[in-house]
Structure 1
């Protein structure tokens, strides 16, 4: 990684909060946090966007859209980080998450959950090829206009963040709290 993140000893303001959050949760600062700390205003704006998205769709749907998008762009960082966030939020248990990571269409997810993941994955692989039929799939599963927009924004936000990490060649670290079997399943789309 060619960019130089701020040192932990020099961190102030939002950067210090970013670092402290990782240390409190995991005992160290992730490489992706350090890279985003180079532009703390952009990180704050990203967090504000996520806070504006989640209330209408809830944590579970946000995490499903995030995992679908991360799967589509083959983001190892985000598959692992949001796999863990999905478990912590009790949005899925480990067995179901492992099955969803390998094939979400065969993981006993609700049809609405599958529609969210498929939509986010397609948006991340072929956004230009999407039509009203893709949004209609979400509507057919009961999502409102606001929720359809917020699912789209969740997938778009994941694309922004994940592609930035990939472009900057941010090293991948082990994510604490994930079994080796779950790690293998989460990373299966990137192989």
Structure 2
């Protein structure tokens, strides 16, 4: 792995605004390392704040979609967008949240053959269509989700996660940000 995490400036932690620095240090405390995307985005503090506030609003709730299902959307659509960082980083989070060391690899390769429920398959069918062929989304696609028990809020969340991570994928491509090494083993081997 390269030590370079961005094609753009990466500020020193002590040079960052206090709230940005504190958020990065809190993540480091929980994870044991600083995910590269935090450092890559830190050179633009206002965008860093907006990015992670929206990320948390979408990904840290457990209503309508489980936290694991939210990560499933990220992994499947990031694979379609060829974003190595998001597949690896969110694959790690998915393995932990789903308590399944195989799931992220399955979703990144072919969600139709993954160990998921029919409801989750419908969710990912829709997410991938929106991600790769968004202009083709029709009322029938929304109705297919409703058949599987998704309400308007859950359907909106699926779409918002797809949209947010399309942006995230593109920023990672722009910056050339690689995944951190620890992500590769998270959720595969016991912690410690």
Same fold (TM over 0.5): yes
**Is the Cα–Cα contact under 8 Å of residues 17 and 45 in structure 2 kept in the other structure?**
no
Whether 1:14 and 2:8 are equivalent positions in the alignment is no
Match of 1:61 among 38, 47, 69: 69
Quote how far apart the aligned CAs of 1:94 are.
0.5
**Is the Cα–Cα contact under 8 Å of residues 18 and 33 in structure 1 kept in the other structure?**
no
Q: 1:149: which partner in 2?
A: 156
Q: 2:165: which partner in 1?
A: 158
**Is the Cα–Cα contact under 8 Å of residues 36 and 43 in structure 1 kept in the other structure?**
yes
CA–CA separation in structure 2 for the residues paired with 1:29 and 1:51: 17
Whether 1:42 and 2:27 are equivalent positions in the alignment is no
**Is the Cα–Cα contact under 8 Å of residues 60 and 86 in structure 1 kept in the other structure?**
yes
String of CA shifts for 1:105-132, please: whole Å, max 9, x gaps.
Answer: 1123101111122222222211112222
Match of 1:83 among 85, 88, 91: 91
Match of 2:29 among 15, 24, 33: 24
String of CA shifts for 1:8-40, please: whole Å, max 9, x gaps.
Answer: 232332321243134324544333211211222
CA–CA separation in structure 2 for the residues paired with 1:150 and 1:105: 21
Unpaired runs of 5+ in structure 2? Answer: 1-5
Larger mean Cα displacement after TM superposition, 24-33 or 123-132:
24-33
**Is the Cα–Cα contact under 8 Å of residues 94 and 103 in structure 2 kept in the other structure?**
no
Number of aligned residue pairs: give it.
179
- The two structures have a TM-score, normalised by structure 1, of 0.81
Taking a change above 3 Å as real, the CA distance of residues 39 and 20 of structure 1, as seen in their structure-2 partners, is same
**Is the Cα–Cα contact under 8 Å of residues 68 and 118 in structure 1 kept in the other structure?**
no
Q: 2:9: which partner in 1?
A: 4
Q: Secondary structure at the match of 1:155?
A: helix
CA–CA separation in structure 1 for the residues paired with 2:184 and 2:7: 29
Higher helix share: 1
Q: Runs of 4+ in structure 1 displaced over 6 angstroms? A: none
Taking a change above 3 Å as real, the CA distance of residues 16 and 76 of structure 1, as seen in their structure-2 partners, is same
Q: Secondary structure at the match of 2:102?
A: helix
Taking a change above 3 Å as real, the CA distance of residues 173 and 77 of structure 1, as seen in their structure-2 partners, is closer
CA RMSD of aligned residues (A): 2.3
Unpaired runs of 5+ in structure 1? Answer: 183-191
Match of 1:51 among 48, 56, 61: 56
Whether 1:100 and 2:107 are equivalent positions in the alignment is yes
